[in-house]
């Protein structure tokens, strides 16, 4: 079975072809980072318009790379939510229009389910069940994953997600957008003892997170700096603040993961989402895993951010379990707000 995946939930347009027998055939991705950078964040209307421009050329590129014709597609999976309403509608309209034209069934996929299952695309995938730390954009959640559609929420952020804290703190340091990779790179040159920032909810005895206070702590450090003006803070000071911030957020994420592993009794931890590409987080989790005798699985770096491959794969997994999951209902149906625990088991 060959499944076409269409991803357009935010600022990446992704298409991919996944074959249940041969694996990932091809994928193509366009990032809008350069377009949104001058605005300091994603502009929804611009994102939607760019998805419209990119979708069909990326589809042609994906088909060409796989060496197949569109008629060979058996089903089409698209991101139904959550995400930006206008952006989701573009992907939905492309998928449903193709389905109608080719007389192929379509399947709406939960964006976060795509992230959760993306490590299974690796050459050495984890087996169910496992604990998953989902750190993607506006989401920071710890889940127990027992199978496709069988997700139990253990804890989540009560305010800012880790990714939001990265972007907002980077902006405070004048690092621009997207801030996550920039502040992570800068932190590598920082002194870990220069700024000891708070570790919110580190000892809360649950699996919830809170990062808005950490962002506020960065703001306070910047405001209390002797020069008062961010432009006058020297590069080393910025690096030290970045190091203090990254160490704090990594410590919290690592501690919560270790606690969840101990609580569950499982020995497999999966990291999914954009923050999963963070080198400091990976180093910390790998060290904790070696000490506590569990194993950590990551997506390939190219599949940490939003992409069509994870949507094609999630759709294919659902269709393998339930071939009737895809329908010939070509109405545009998106869910900008869609809690992961509301999706049905496969």
Cα–Cα dist 346/319, whole Å: 8
Give me 68's structure tokens: 């197949």
User: What residues are designated binding site for Fe cation?
Assistant: 111, 115, 306
Distance of CA 285 to the CA centre of its chain: 18
CA 176 – CA 220 distance, rounded (Å): 19
Task: Give me the helix-helix angle, 44-66 and 85-102, nearest 10°.
Answer: 30
Strands (E), 127-205: 130-136, 139-147, 150-156
Residue ranges of the binding site for substrate:
134-138, 167, 180, 278
Compute CA 265 distance to the chain's CA centroid, rounded to the nearest angstrom: 26
Binding-site residue positions: 111, 115, 134-138, 167, 180, 278, 306
């Amino acid at each position: 079975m060959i499944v076409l995946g269409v991803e357009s939930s935010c600022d990446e347009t992704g298409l991919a072809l996944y074959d249940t027998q041969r694996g990932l055939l091809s994928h193509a991705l366009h990032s809008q980072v350069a377009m949104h950078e001058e605005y300091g964040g994603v502009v929804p209307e611009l994102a939607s318009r760019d998805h419209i421009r990119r979708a069909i050329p990326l589809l042609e590129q994906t088909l060409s790379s796989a060496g197949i014709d569109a008629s060979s597609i058996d089903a089409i999976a698209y991101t139904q939510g959550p995400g930006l309403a206008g952006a989701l509608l573009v992907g939905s309209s492309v998928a449903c229009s193709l389905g109608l034209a080719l007389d192929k069934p379509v399947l709406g996929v939960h964006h976060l389910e795509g992230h959760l299952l993306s490590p299974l695309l690796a050459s050495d995938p984890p087996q169910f069940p496992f604990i998953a730390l989902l750190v993607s954009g506006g989401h920071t959640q710890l889940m127990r994953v027992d199978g496709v559609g069988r997700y139990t929420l253990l804890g989540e952020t009560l305010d800012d997600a880790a990714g939001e804290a990265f972007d907002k703190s980077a902006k405070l340091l004048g690092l621009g957008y997207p801030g996550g990779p920039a502040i992570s790179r800068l932190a590598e040159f920082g002194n870990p003892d220069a700024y000891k920032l708070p570790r919110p909810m580190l000892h809360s005895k649950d699996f919830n997170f809170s990062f808005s206070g950490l962002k506020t702590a960065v703001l306070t450090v910047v405001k209390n700096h002797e020069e008062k003006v961010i432009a006058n803070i020297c590069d080393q000071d910025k690096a030290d603040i970045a190091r203090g911030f990254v160490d704090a957020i990594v410590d919290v994420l690592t501690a919560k993961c270790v606690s969840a592993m101990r609580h569950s009794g499982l020995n497999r931890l999966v990291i999914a989402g954009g923050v999963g590409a963070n080198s400091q987080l990976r180093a910390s989790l790998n060290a904790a895993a070696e000490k506590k005798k569990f194993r950590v699985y990551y997506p390939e770096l190219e599949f940490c951010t939003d992409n069509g491959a994870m949507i094609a794969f999630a759709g294919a997994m659902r269709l393998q379990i339930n071939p009737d999951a895809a329908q010939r209902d070509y109405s545009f149906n998106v869910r900008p707000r869609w809690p992961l625990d509301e999706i049905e088991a496969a």
